[in-house]
Amino acid sequence: MEKIIHRAGSRGHANHGWLNTYHTFSFANYHNPERIHFGALRVLNDDEVSGGMGFGTHPHDNMEIVSIPLEGSLEHQDSMGNKTVIRKGEVQIMSAGTGVRHSEKNHSNTDPVKFLQIWVFPEEKGIEPNYDQKFFEASERQNKIQTVVSPIDSIDGGVKIHQQSWFSLSDIQTTNDVTYTMHNKKNGLYLLVLEGKISVAEETLEKRDGIGLNGVDKIVIAATENAEILLMEVPMFA
């Protein structure tokens, strides 16, 4: 088993006033040659946007973009005609494909919105852009694995991604554990601790610590404190 650990405090950071953001992988003005991507996982940004603020309309292409609100609500509008609001408990995916323009802003004028924005390289370039959004019951991830993103050709639950990738959430109570079994043994697994403290692969991880694992069939994650985790299984390549 190969593993790489990214402690919360080692991430890239920028505070623009209206945007306080942390980057696990190189992004914008943060460049770390040892942190370009983890297989198909290209971007893992931990964003907090002030009330009434947001990202103006901008383009994307040939990227699978997943947004997961952690607190508050995020307003989305794009050139495909979608105008929606995503809230905690929901997961959104935008397949940029041949090209799409979109904007994101805090739906509240007063309260901050906190969310993860994740980019995954697509399995194929030049696809037609598309959008999906879905709510997931928190009770379905209590001390078990809940799939929230899955491949377009799979029957697994979750919003659909144009890549052989699976994202899962799990809320684990203290002294409990869950076992994640890889869908494809050639894939890698990146785990981010959203809250609490866990033990995994003989390591202790706390809030916003991340670990990338390669060469595993299954992995046991134990909570040493009540924990919320995000697991991202992605194809590996140089």
- Domains 12-135 and 138-234 in one fold: yes
> The CATH number of 138-234 is which of 3.40.718.10, 3.20.20.120, 2.80.10.50, 2.60.120.10?
2.60.120.10
Q: What's this model's pTM, rounded to 2 decimal places?
A: 0.97
- The count of C-alpha atoms lying within 13 angstroms of the C-alpha of 174, restricted to the half-sphere facing its C-beta, is 4
Torsion of the alpha carbons at 21, 27, 33 and 39, rounded to the nearest 10? 100
Tokens standing for 132? Answer: 């999906």
Domain ranges (residues) in the chain: 12-135, 138-234
CATH of domain 12-135: 2.60.120.10
Give the separation between CA 83 and CA 224, rounded to whole angstroms: 41
| Residue 94: both structure tokens together | 């935008």
Query: Which pLDDT belongs to residue 238?
Result: 58
pLDDT tens digits in sequence order for the chain, 238 residues long: 999 999 999 999 999 999 999 999 999 999 999 999 999 999 999 999 999 999 999 999 999 999 999 999 999 999 999 999 999 999 999 999 999 999 999 999 999 999 999 999 999 999 999 999 999 999 999 999 999 999 998 888 899 999 999 999 999 999 999 999 999 999 999 999 999 999 999 999 999 999 999 999 999 999 999 999 999 999 998 5
